[in-house]
Amino acid sequence: MYEQASHAMLNEILAELNPEIGKLRLRHFYTRLGANFYNIYTLFHHLYGDRSDFKSQMVSLVETLAQRYIERAPHLRKSDLVRERDYNWFLHQQWVGMALYCDRFAGDLKGLRKKLPYLQELGVNMVHVMPILDCPEGASDGGYAVRDFHKVDARFGSNADLEALAATLKKREMLLVLDVVVNHTSDEHVWAKLARAGDKKFQDYYYVFKDREMPDAFEEGMPEIFPNTAPGNFTWDEAMGKWVMTVFNNYQWDLNYRNPAVFIEMVDIILFWANKGVDILRMDAVAFLWKKIGSTCQNEREAHLLLQLMKDCCQVTAPGVLFIAEAIVAPGEITKYFGDDAIMAKECEIAYNATLMALLWDAVATKNAKLLNLGVQHLPAKLERATWLNYVRCHDDIGLGFDDKDAVLAGYDPYSHRRFLIDYFTGRFAGSPARGLPFGENPKTGDARISGSLASLAGLEAAIASGDEAAIDAAIRTILLLHSIILSFGGIPLLYYGDGIGMLNNVEYMADPVKRNDSRWAHRSSFDWNKAELRHKQGSVEQRIFNGLKKMIALRKELSAFADFDNRQQVFVENPNLLVFVRSDPTSPRNRVLVVANFNNEPQSLMLEVLRPYGFFGHSPMRELCSGMRVEVEEDAITIPALTCCWLAD
């Protein structure tokens, strides 16, 4: 948008830029800057306009964007242009992701390059390499306490190794996803060290207070994220003689985005990794970016403005790079991280579908789809060119983040239902086959979350221990059922590295004093390559899971109806055990798939009448696409096997 005040400002800034920048050929940079400048200026002004140094901060921001553009390699600039033309590229059904720790999966970054064939065998073509930046030796929250944002940790390799990995991935048409920990730094980061040494400039990078007055005021509204390991949201720093805000662990200092210098540093870091060949940046803990007394300090309007501003800036320098919002918050809040525009995504193109994840686990425990149906029905509509990251398991705990209103509609008391789910997944509920561990139990609120590997939660661990073949079969079916939904729901499915071979909990972490109190380590163990070999052994648990997944992934990629253009219609059926939806290709409506998932451990029947308005089961016979089997109709109903998800087509 052209608007006089911001354009006049742009002209002034261009005149003030470092003269070297002016000499370079920056055609695409300038057209993009022109296109986004109104937004950048307006947002930056809204956040920082009352400061006397506003203008010089603006110059510094634009200079950062220009410098990083100048250093952007030709092949990345080219890829920006290709993606600009094919702007829906990431909505295609071809993408299938996996999150993994490069050390625990493959030793280090070099090792990971060698293991790419395994990922490709499964069909994975988007790799989220969990945090690899320089961290303190001891506790580092699994890499989420970064000491140096510009350097790969020596334990994993070097920056050159990362660039080499990015290049190899590109050749194999795979995408690289990396974290940007935007909300906090390690207390060993140089900014924190300088702050601790008394440097006022760097104390302003954080929320630092001389006494308890402000911290106490903040605490009134702020919940605790890690209540047992890191109670409270502030830490007394002895050397500095001051309190510092630490929402997560006490060694993770929250950055203060009221300071424009912090914002500019972070944009610079984002572009630094974009220039290393990263395709998608996972923005960690974005809900926490803005703190305000009297609020929970989550999902504040300014957190959204900051993300919009980061997006606008990234689009000027590296427009082909996408953002994933990691906002594990209430269902109604998550979609806001796509942006508040009524049409187009303006913040993050992709967001973790934490709601679906929680609902899926509810269906596993209750063996019905009552709450799942309501939760899916009430998922807020997405914007265009925005997509979900659908997952069942990730490296974190499972929070039961469904809407209380839906729980009530499903006939539950939300509090006791959550209690039941926690008891069920931690195996305290009589007869439960789940072997999870509690995480973040908070006696003050009665709240708790759940750790444990997907397979252990789905009952595989208990089934193997008891040698019960039927129970093993049920667990494998559950694992495949859950994946079948994330592969067909609409969005990018994100698998978790051990789940393709049914890895169980590993409690070795309990012997490590640094990890002992964080049960999330139970599902972050070293990938077992011997176990993975068993995927070649016919009839083994590993083979049944791996092959089941592999088949579904291959099929997903062939089904244009599975691309994400908001082309999912939910079908409400009488049988409460079933989740049913239709996916259809908007450009070719004949290409459609009926997805029917049965969460019950008995076969369930689906009456066909309700499907007729959608054009299914007219005259032609139907086929189940994964098995290739013809679907038999009896008394105007079909039978869905226990714990199975069918992809049906005419």
* Residue 139 Cβ vs ligand OTU, minimum distance, rounded to whole Å: 11
Q: Rounded CA gap, 476 and 460, in Å?
A: 7
Residues 6+ apart with CB under 8 A from 485: 356, 360, 390, 579, 595, 597, 645
- Cβ neighbours, 10 Å, residue 256: 18
* Residue 142 Cβ vs ligand OTU, minimum distance, rounded to whole Å: 5
* Residue 413 Cβ vs ligand OTU, minimum distance, rounded to whole Å: 23
Q: Is 536 strand, coil or helix? A: helix
Residue placing its CB nearer to ligand OTU in the complex, 297 or 374: 297
Residues assigned a catalytic role: 284, 326
Q: Is 646 strand, coil or helix? A: strand
Residues 6+ apart with CB under 8 A from 459: 433, 434, 435, 471, 474, 475, 478
Asked if 377 and 383 count as a contact pair (C-beta separation under 8 A), the reply is no
Q: Is 625 strand, coil or helix? A: coil
* Residue 226 Cβ vs ligand OTU, minimum distance, rounded to whole Å: 8
Q: Is 649 strand, coil or helix? A: strand
Q: Rounded CA gap, 70 and 18, in Å?
A: 13
| 58 closest CA partner among 346, 283, 313 | 313
3-state secondary structure 61-120: HHHHHHHHHHHCCHHHHHHHHHHHHCCCHHHCCCCCEEEECHHHHHCCHHHHHHHHHHHH
Phi, psi dihedrals of residue 452, rounded to the nearest 5°: 125, 150
* Residue 369 Cβ vs ligand OTU, minimum distance, rounded to whole Å: 25
Residue placing its CB nearer to ligand OTU in the complex, 225 or 379: 225
Residues in the chain: 650
- Cβ neighbours, 10 Å, residue 518: 22
Residue placing its CB nearer to ligand OTU in the complex, 515 or 531: 515
Asked if 142 and 155 count as a contact pair (C-beta separation under 8 A), the reply is no
* Residue 506 Cβ vs ligand OTU, minimum distance, rounded to whole Å: 17
* Residue 519 Cβ vs ligand OTU, minimum distance, rounded to whole Å: 12
Residue placing its CB nearer to ligand OTU in the complex, 130 or 642: 130
Give the residues across from 580 on adjacent strands: 571, 596
Interacting residues with ligand OTU (CB under 6 A):
141-142, 144, 181, 225, 248, 284-285, 287, 326-328, 395-397, 399, 449
Residue placing its CB nearer to ligand OTU in the complex, 69 or 101: 101
| 363 closest CA partner among 302, 424, 429 | 424
Three-point CA angle 303, 305, 306, nearest 5° = 65
* Residue 332 Cβ vs ligand OTU, minimum distance, rounded to whole Å: 15
Residue placing its CB nearer to ligand OTU in the complex, 41 or 248: 248
Q: Rounded CA gap, 422 and 416, in Å?
A: 10
Residue placing its CB nearer to ligand OTU in the complex, 284 or 349: 284
* Residue 398 Cβ vs ligand OTU, minimum distance, rounded to whole Å: 9
Residue placing its CB nearer to ligand OTU in the complex, 246 or 368: 246
Residue placing its CB nearer to ligand OTU in the complex, 125 or 298: 298
Instruction: 631-639: list long-range contacts, CB under 8 Å, 24+ apart.
Output: 633/608, 636/607, 636/608, 636/609, 637/605, 637/606, 637/607, 637/608, 638/605, 638/606, 638/608, 639/603, 639/604, 639/605, 639/606
Q: Rounded CA gap, 606 and 641, in Å?
A: 11
